[in-house]
Structure 1
């Protein structure tokens, strides 16, 4: 009698999504491999500085400033083995380009602004990049700004297209302190904070149980 193989859980993939009304499919990056580690740094937004009023020491002006750092690996080996035409022609170039486009304004907007400036236009606003969402599971969808991106290309094909690369990302979480009230990112961050509050409340039961165990010893 043979037993059925165990059913492995479906692994969700992290992603970065650039939301742009004019080119919605330009920057959708689903991580090929989820990073093994992710570092999060939180700094409180306090109301006072070093010489501030002592009565304001615990007042907060908003959500903490949060910075996320992680490394994403991209490898075209499987696609090349399957003779994927995109991988054969460009290696991991399309994936790297999608990541880099998170930092670029749209070329049409740049050209339009240059044309307006050439005919004497003034007060031209800088072009806006896409709103970037960091997706890490269904309960963590955060608006972020890409603060830094370091790309290390490790291997190349005969045309010098990169076939393996590692991308180190620094992401600054955008909260309701940073985004307009009408921004979808504002609502997403508010939901994120409410989820944290629910989780923190649930931890009360764990703490009470741990305290009871400690008192019995």
Structure 2
């Protein structure tokens, strides 16, 4: 027997605090979540900006002249009204020959940042059976405590407050806001996130009532931004590269009926 297994090595997901910190916060997932739920919302609106309003207003006046009507004042008022519904906007006439391009140019869009939710499962049984002293005494309490610390300001940390009292300062440990966390999920997704919510369900305990099994539900919001947000930019670039790879399936378009 060579001792080598034919099974591929499986990477583990993790939460790692972004930046220098004492004590450092990280949790490597003992078991990878079986599923991730990811969502992103887009809120579409009507006209936005004087340039676009003037553009549509001019077009309406031209159409009014062609139709022989003199109610241009009414059209101007309706065009600049912020209460105009998106449905009404979609039914308007635009200067573009392609109506859908006119709709695209006229409507506004507000993008929400991506949200991610999943469950983390923790179990100290194997470590306890192998004689791990920490697991035998405290179970999974160290991992749970670290997850909880990721939702609290470092200024509330007793250890950080002690360190900040030294002459050298350690000012980076005394933050008044919760830390930014990197959600690491393989090579292609290293995302800076806010940990919005954790829900801990402890299901088994040892003889001194420390939890040995638990499921933790987490809700994250991805911190998106400009090119100076290096982790997000890295992940976004890889996402765009994956989209390019999808061109390998371009022959599938032949099986789609596209109106001419």
- Class of the TM-score when normalised by the shorter of the 2 chains: 0.7 to 0.9
Contact persistence 1:41–1:66 (CA under 8 A) = yes
Q: Distance in 2 between matches of 1:195 and 1:59?
A: 27
- 1:72 paired to 2:120: yes
**CA distance 1:23–1:51, change in 2 (3 Å):** farther
2:239 match? 196
Number of equivalent positions? 194
Q: Distance in 1 between matches of 2:28 and 2:160?
A: 27
Gaps of 5+ in 2: 48-82, 90-102, 163-174
Q: Distance in 1 between matches of 2:204 and 2:159?
A: 34
- 1:158 paired to 2:156: no
Contact persistence 1:45–1:65 (CA under 8 A) = no
1 or 2, which has the higher helix percentage?
2
TM-score, length-normalised on structure 2? 0.64
TM-score, length-normalised on structure 1? 0.76
Match of 1:96 among 144, 162, 175: 144
Contact persistence 1:154–1:164 (CA under 8 A) = yes
For the pair shown, the structure with the greater C-alpha radius of gyration is 2
Q: Distance in 1 between matches of 2:224 and 2:142?
A: 30
Q: Distance in 2 between matches of 1:110 and 1:85?
A: 26
Q: Report deviation, 1:146.
A: 0.7
1:19 match? 18
**CA distance 1:160–1:3, change in 2 (3 Å):** closer
| Equivalent position SS for 2:117 | strand
Which stretch of structure 1 is more off in the superposition, 167-176 or 49-58? 49-58
1:173-195 Cα distance to aligned partner (Å, 9 max, x none): 11007xxx75xxx1221222222
Superposed, 1:102-141 pairs within 5 Å as: 102-106=150-154, 107=157, 127-141=176-190
Q: Distance in 2 between matches of 1:110 and 1:48?
A: 49
Superposed, 1:47-58 pairs within 5 Å as: 51=84, 54=89
Gaps of 5+ in 1: 113-125
1:209 match? 251
Contact persistence 1:109–1:127 (CA under 8 A) = no
